[in-house]
């Protein structure tokens, strides 16, 4: 696995430049195209451990959303859906298998609703739900992050997010796989630095009828994740007509980091459908 991770980390990043900045992306493998969309506290590297196996059968495309990783913060209003559409046009892929984690999962849903003919299948892991009535636990997290950023304490904001999204509410830090916090800290810091400008310019989640999703859909959730997201995952699975819910016993919010082998074992046959 270490060798596979190293090969992923040394893939050359490519750049799609436009009037709002740039989208950085990386491509591996050969076969039917699969796009992996990262979480809002990470960047394309969160998928490093699942790419080597997926790339044996697929062209695997990963990109950094604007303001994340190596993609510059936007200089004006933008749409994540339009960005993905532009990237697929640039790469010459008419139809793809689409996989998204957390905020990337909602980007994938919005794209599927806006461009149903371009999506072969959809896999969502811990996606949010627009307008969801968050629990007191989630509101307290948001208030703590906001206070840390307002006081200029970026390190505290990083710790708050690592506690919520990596460790989760149901385990101790000693139970988190070694090295994951260090792996996530840099991408998370970048996302927090750019959070304000991204929020200012992003058009956000588009309203849409989730029951209109007409492609095979996989919904995954970590059993160690926040209760809100477990409820949301069940909602997606119940309202999308051709959806299957899968629970990961040993994962919190970021399944690709906590349980990459289990995730790959699930994704490979699903993507081959």
Superfamily of domain 2-271: Alpha/Beta hydrolase fold, catalytic domain (3.40.50.1820)
**Residue 2: which pLDDT band, with cuts at 50, 70 and 90?**
very low
Contact 233, 245 (CB under 8 A): yes
* Residue spans per domain, the chain: 2-271
Radius of gyration of the chain (CA): 17
pLDDT band per the 50, 70, 90 thresholds, residue 8: low
CB 105 within 8 A of CB 127: yes
**Model confidence at 66: pLDDT above 60:** yes
pLDDT at 12: 87
Cβ neighbours of residue 203 under 8 Å, at least 6 residues apart?
77, 78, 79, 80
Tell if the pTM clears 0.85, that is, is over it.
yes
d(CA 71, CA 83): 11
């Amino acid at each position: 696995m270490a060798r596979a991770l190293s090969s992923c980390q040394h893939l050359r990043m490519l750049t799609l430049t436009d009037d709002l900045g740039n989208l950085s992306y990386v491509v591996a493998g050969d076969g039917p195209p699969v796009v992996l969309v990262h979480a809002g506290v990470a960047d394309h590297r969160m998928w490093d451990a699942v790419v080597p196996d997926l790339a044996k059968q697929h062209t695997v495309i990963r990109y950094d959303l604007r303001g994340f990783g190596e993609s510059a913060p936007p200089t004006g209003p933008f749409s994540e859906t339009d960005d993905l559409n532009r990237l697929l046009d640039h790469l010459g892929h008419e139809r793809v298998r689409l996989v998204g984690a957390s905020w990337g999962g909602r980007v994938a849903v919005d794209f599927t609703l806006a461009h149903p003919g371009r999506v072969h299948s959809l896999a969502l892991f811990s996606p949010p739900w627009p307008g969801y009535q968050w629990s007191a636990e989630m509101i307290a997290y948001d208030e703590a992050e906001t206070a840390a950023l307002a006081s200029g304490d970026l390190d505290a904001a990083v710790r708050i997010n690592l506690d919520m999204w990596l460790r989760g509410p149901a385990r101790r830090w000693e139970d988190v796989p070694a090295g994951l916090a260090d792996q996530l800290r840099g991408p998370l810091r970048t996302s927090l630095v750019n959070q304000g400008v991204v929020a200012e310019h992003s058009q956000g989640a588009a309203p849409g009828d989730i029951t209109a999703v007409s492609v095979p859909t996989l919904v995954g959730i970590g059993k160690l994740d926040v209760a809100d997201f477990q409820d949301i995952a069940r909602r997606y699975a119940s309202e999308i007509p051709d959806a299957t819910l899968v629970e990961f016993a040993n994962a919190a919010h970021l399944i690709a980091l906590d349980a990459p082998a289990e995730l790959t074992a699930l994704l490979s046959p699903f993507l081959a459908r």
